[in-house]
Amino acid sequence: MNTGFYRRRKGESNFQRIYRGPKRRFVDAGTAEPLIYEYQVTAVSDNGESAPCPLRDTDPSRLIHWDPRPGEGFRRDTQSHENGYPEYNHWIEEQMPILRYPDSTEREEDRA
């Protein structure tokens, strides 16, 4: 069983095959930032090639890419179901400040 990996730039109509082989993981080194790419994967066997999987893309605004952010420390949600808020809303939370634990070297009196 082999795997086929396909890529296209967002907005283009045709996919380009970038890998076909036995690997189940593939890292695409042929991309250029800040372009957004769309990917599809297929399974290939002696019976032929499967239908492609649902699209995945590199759009940084997608919910699947929002957490954790590179280089960011611990993040605490400022709203939660447990505290009586009706629903977690990513777009509202994105606008709120990120709360951080104080640095372990800070003293209580320095923060006052």
CB 16 within 8 A of CB 56: no
Instruction: Specify the CATH number of the domain 2-57.
Output: 2.60.40.10
Could you check whether the bond before residue 97 is cis, i.e. omega within 30 degrees of 0?
Answer: no
Give the CB-side neighbour count of residue 40, counting CA atoms within 13 A.
18
Cα separation of 101 and 112, whole Å? 15
For the chain, domain boundaries: 2-57, 66-100
Q: pLDDT tens digits for 61-87?
A: 777 766 666 666 655 555 555 655 555
Mean pLDDT value across residues 28-33 = 85
Q: Return the higher-pLDDT residue of 14 and 106.
A: 14
Q: What is the DSSP letter of 92?
A: H
pTM value? 0.57
**Of the candidates 34, 43, 37, 3, the residue with the CA atom closest to the CA atom of residue 19:** 3
